[in-house]
A and B are shown apart, each in its own frame.
Chain A
Amino acid sequence: MNILETRNISKYFHDPVEFQVLKDISFAVRKGEFLSMVGKSGSGKSTLLYILSTMDTEYSGQLKVDGQTVTGQTNDQLAEMRNNKIGFVFQFHYLLPEFSCLKNIMLPALKLGKYTAQEIESRAYDKLKLLGLEDQALKPASKLSGGQQQRVAIARALINDPHIIMCDEPTGNLDSKNTAIVFDTFKDLTRSFGQPIIAVTHDEEFARNSDRIIEMRDGEIV
């Protein structure tokens, strides 16, 4: 079963010059698949990921998540879909700096409102533990190292049990030990819960150990 599917996705930037970043991107991600996306800097990986995450709506072609056509939905519908079904880790760890790590992780779940605040807190705590950060739970996010912040962002992406997880260089700032932790966590998620993962990475070993590699070059999948 395909959790995510794109058909002929193209995108242009008009400023400063007309430039096609993405050219007819068509691919699918199956349930439980661990997919790596590689490619040179500037090849359009982040741009594609923004579209897949439903945040960028300025493209042509079609995007389906969970068999549902996402293209053309209203902003509110898209927001709901992101909250519900998509876990996203940005290229640069974007946490709310004044909030504690725990609170950062809890936010998407508080928005979703499926569990009580207490349940959410204990779930958030579990995610932190999973990524080896339980001792940092109450620190404000701004007081963490880059690698720690990145792991908090990963924990946050997992909190709502998303149907698919997308990461833009999730291990870009991590040493080999923590990269291994993140990799194993991802692998485990895909295996135990069938949550597929799309991870943009420059780490060859990381890519090699995943289920499938997609390579981008000049806005095309090769």
Chain B
Amino acid sequence: MLTGYKSEGWREANETIMAAFRMRRIIITLVSNTLLIVAGFGIYNILNMTVSQKINDIAILKAMGFKGKDVIRIFLTQALSIGVMGVIGGMIMAAVLVTLLKKVYIGGDIGFFPIDYELTKFIQGTVVGMIITFFAGYLPARKAAQVDPVSIFRK
């Protein structure tokens, strides 16, 4: 050290704040993924229950000549309609929340809550939501497609 000064970039100078940012991002990702998975389980459970309740009806359809893939289509349609409703509801709620939060004054350098309508986030949410719905619906649908009508009718 010749001068007694040292230089450092703003990132290093604010290492603590940067760490806090990173932590925040990790937490947000974890929380939102957990929510998505919980929602996925919800859909999975609803459809699993429907399959058990309607097993007789599924057997009848198969006996009348509906194929495995027809049955899958019926249940996937149901799953996706739940998913679409969920996505639309979620979008509306997100838009409302953003509108409200934008007006919340936090103070300091930040001022108003730093949030805005971000199209990419909305698209991300829709895509991930539909993918999860698809898988949550596909598993019970496949179970339904494999129902053996004879074993149901014998009961």
Contact = CB atoms under 8 A, between A and B. Distances in A.
Are A and B physically bound partners?
yes
Interface residues of A, number: 26
Nearest to A156: B64
A108 B65 contact: yes
B122 interface: no
Nearest to B69: A76
A107 interface: yes
Given A94-B56, A96-B60, A111 B153 contact: no
Contacts of B68: 75-76, 79
Interface residues of B, number: 18
Nearest to B145: A75
State the main secondary structure of chain A at its contact with B: helix
State the main secondary structure of chain B at its contact with A: helix
A95 B65 contact: no
B30 to A, nearest CB: 42
Contact of B65 (A46, A84, A90, A92): A84
Contact of B63 (A46, A82, A91): A82
B150 A50 contact: yes
A95 B65 CA distance: 14
A188 to B, nearest CB: 23
Contact of A82 (B59, B65, B150, B153): B65
Given A56-B150, A94-B153, A79 B60 contact: no
Contact of A79 (B59, B62, B153, B154): B62
Interface string B51-69: 0000011011111111111
Interface in A59-88: 75-76, 79-84, 88
B149 interface: yes
Nearest to A96: B57
Interface of A: 46, 50, 53, 55-56, 75-76, 79-84, 88, 90-92, 94-97, 107-108, 111-112, 156
